[in-house]
Amino acid sequence: MKLLVTGGAGFIGSNFIRYILKNHPDYEIICVDALTYAGNTDNLFEIIEENKIKFIKENICNKDGITQILRDNLPDIIINFAAQTHVDRSIDNPEEFIKTNIYGVYVLLDCCLNIGINRFHQVSTDEVYGDQYEENMSCDENYPVIGTNPYAATKGAADLLVQSYHHTYGLYTTVTRCANNFGPYQNKEKLIPKVIFNAIYNKPIPIYGNGSNIRDWIYVQDHCSAIDAVISNGKSGEIYNISSHNEIANIDLVKTILKQMNKDEQLITYVDDRLGHTMRHSMVSDKIEHELGWNAKWEFSLALKETIDWYMNN
């Protein structure tokens, strides 16, 4: 199978490429990335150097460039990781998120139709479900899309656009919505690497509000295996939630990291809450578990230790 992976030099994309090379050595991979601040060829350095993949620098918003890449390579499937992803940045500059997360997805979908690429997979997020502040509430795939911040709104819009190309044009599409990822190669602006780096250098660790906001955390390797299951056996037009069922408050997560690193909790500094900060994200992933036989394999504390060790060594 020939995969075209957009955003492949980013955190999750680069981990996915490494996962595929390990588990499907017969697959051919073309990696397309614009190399913004979030994408870095260092994430794939030895893989590119050894010509294990083909790397092309391009922005998914450039329709002419994407058209040429698809014509030249004719992949069996496009897997789209390319996105603006940081909520704080979306609040400060929504325009970039609208361009990449909506128009960029349109470009990819339309090029699929025009060139005859038959399959498209969109990597989405649990952010599209909004705030599950009720204690026992968790979202399945039929829960409505809610835009609680510009990032969530643009990702939700992209999901709807993908579904429209399936229902209107018959394109074979799948969408996965995943919980918060962590692991190697994640940008330092994200919570877990930020805590680790600040702790290494004994710098203050900022926590929004009182730190009671709850997220479901999943190790990136489990996310990669879930996407693999969907592109291998997922049904066209379907959405699949990916959850590790590991909900934890931000403050408890930070304290857990500091404990594993033998660092003092006095590094924690509470700062003003961000605009529109959702209290809790929670999903059920019965669909992918029952229909495709996927389950998260990594135990949280072990995955967290692996992540801390990686950042301390890199």
Residues annotated as part of the active site: 126-127, 151
Helix, strand, or coil here: 158?
helix
Q: Which residue has the tokens 């614009």?
A: 34
Look at phi and psi of residue 273 and say left if phi exceeds 0, alpha if psi is from -120 to 50, else beta. beta
Helix, strand, or coil here: 46?
helix
The amino acid present at 106, given as its one-letter code, is Y
Facing residues of 7 across strands? Answer: none
Q: Which residue has the tokens 């990032």?
A: 151
Task: Confirm if 100 and 61 have CB atoms less than 8 A apart.
Answer: yes
Distance CA(59)–CA(61), nearest Å, equals 5
What are the backbone dihedrals phi and psi of residue 299, each rounded to the nearest 5 degrees, phi first?
Answer: -75, 135
DSSP 211-237: S--EEEEEEHHHHHHHHHHHHHHPPTT
The amino acid present at 228, given as its one-letter code, is D
Q: Structure tokens of 51? A: 């010509």
